[in-house]
Amino acid sequence: MDDKITESDWALLSQMRQGYLGERAQTLWTTSRSLEVYDKFFGRRIADKWFSALNVFAERGDAQDFLDWRTQLGAPLQIWDWGCGTGRASRSFCQALAIDDPVEAVFTDRGEFIEAWAHHQLVSERGERSITKIPSSKLQLSNTVLLISHVLNELEHAKAGSLSDVAARAEWIFWVENGSRSTSRALAGVRNKIRHTHDILAPCLGQTGCQAIEGKDHSHWCHFFAERTAEYFLDPEWSEFSKRLGVDLRSIPYSFFIARRKREGSPAPTLSVPLPSTHGVHIGRARVYKGYADALVCENNTRLEDWRYPKRSYGEIYRELKKDQASFVLERPESK
């Protein structure tokens, strides 16, 4: 999309924004132009969330497990982009994990027009020969990677339950949502159900129930912040987007989990590069004070704890936490 954003485009984007913020989120996709402008702005932010989640997956070493499985398939990889929208999930997935061999893809959304548009975008990026669109009836769930993107605040309760049942039968699940408290906690509920059929590979270091929703303190929720690119601050159209729609470009909150179906007789999953119990996943943003920073951490038993990093003893980590540049996984500070 190379042409300039017009006044009618800004009006359309504003309508989309208001629809998304409603009690039951909905997006107004009625024309190719509506999909184009959505993809340029909202779709780009969704892609940043996907790249951040997939980067965690790759850094853990679990991506190698996925690549080994894919090599041993003996059949085309099947991708089901559920709630596909403009196809940002499948496009990000194929780019981040360098999927360049033949793929059979299913796109599911509210209408064939949207699904066809998402398919076209993936073909445009990956090449027509490498992407074959198939109906969902031809999916073999044991060969399927299920990509689910930003659907929980749009689904009725019954449909959300049905989607969870489908997910429980897929071989791999990559599920990314926004980072709001309500949506993140809903996703944690799905994760707690899925852990009985699947090994949770990210973001968690453990397999027990999520303490953000099962623990005594219900003020927390599992969310993270995607990396931002300079484009958000250098491109005047992004500045206009922020001003007109009231979107804070300084943060891209998201929640996610990645899981693989349990293999019969297999032991509990371990990270490719095992981490000791002194490590935990940094949730949300640290609270930074003059002489120390407190980070909320999910430990390897999924228990939530505050870890304090004094500036005097942990100057580098303190500065990273202050700048929102700390590692996804932190090491517990020594007690002083």
CATH of the domain at 14: 3.40.50.150
- Which H or E run includes 308? strand 304-310
Same domain for 249 and 286: no
**Pair (312, 166) in one structural domain:** no
Residue 272 belongs to a domain = no
User: Looking at per-residue confidence, does 158 or 278 come out higher?
Assistant: 278
Q: Is residue 266 part of a domain?
A: no
Separation CA 164–CA 166 (nearest Å): 5
In three-state secondary structure terms, 72 is coil
pLDDT band at 8 (very low <50, low <70, confident <90, very high): very high
Residue 142's Cβ-side half-sphere holds a number of Cα atoms within 13 Å equal to: 5
More confident residue, 144 or 335: 144
Residue type for position 100: D
d(CA 43, CA 62): 26
Q: Is 151 in the same domain as 255?
A: yes
Q: Is the pTM of this model over 0.85?
A: yes
**Do 80 and 152 share a structural domain?**
yes
- So what's the pLDDT on residue 18? 82
Residues 249 and 229 sit within 8 Å (Cβ to Cβ): no
Which residue segment(s) compose the domain that 137 sits in?
7-261
The reported pLDDT for the residue numbered 26 is 62
3-state secondary structure of 334: coil
Whether the pLDDT of residue 92 is over 90: the answer is yes
Report the alpha-carbon distance of residue 10 to residue 161 in Å, rounded: 35
The percent of residues in the chain predicted with pLDDT above 90, rounded, is 58
Domain check: are 67 and 117 in the same one?
Answer: yes
What pLDDT, on the 0 to 100 scale, is given for residue 185?
A: 92
> How, if at all, do strands 144-149 and 172-178 pair?
parallel
Do residue 249 and residue 317 come from a single domain? no
pLDDT, tens digit (0-9, with 9 covering 90-100), for 209-233: 888 888 776 788 999 999 888 888 8
Same domain? 223 vs 305: no
- Please indicate, yes or no, whether residues 287 and 188 belong to a single structural domain of this protein: no
The answer on 295 and 238 residing in a single domain is no
Q: What is the pLDDT of residue 164?
A: 80
Whether 284 and 254 share a structural domain = no
**Is residue 250 domain-shared with residue 295, that is, in the same domain?**
no
DSSP of 191-243: HHHHTTTEEEEES-SS-SPPHHHHSS-TT----EE----THHHH-HHHHHHHH
* Residue for token pair 């929720």: 221
Do 249 and 155 fall within a single domain? yes
pLDDT tens digits for 231-273?
Answer: 888 899 999 999 999 999 989 999 999 999 997 765 555 444 4
Which one has a higher pLDDT value, 191 or 266? 191
The last residue of one of the domains, among 261, 287, 312, is 261
The β-bridge partners of 288 are: 293
- Does 1 fall in a domain? no
Which amino acid, one-letter code, is at 165? Answer: D
Instruction: Enter the tokens of residue 209.
Output: 């129930």
Is the residue at 73 inside a domain? yes
Distance of CA 39 to the CA centre of its chain: 16
CA pair distance 134, 144, nearest whole angstrom: 12
Largest CA distance in the chain: 61
**DSSP letter assigned to residue 300:** T
Domain count, the chain: 2
Q: Which two tokens stand for residue 78?
A: 């099947």
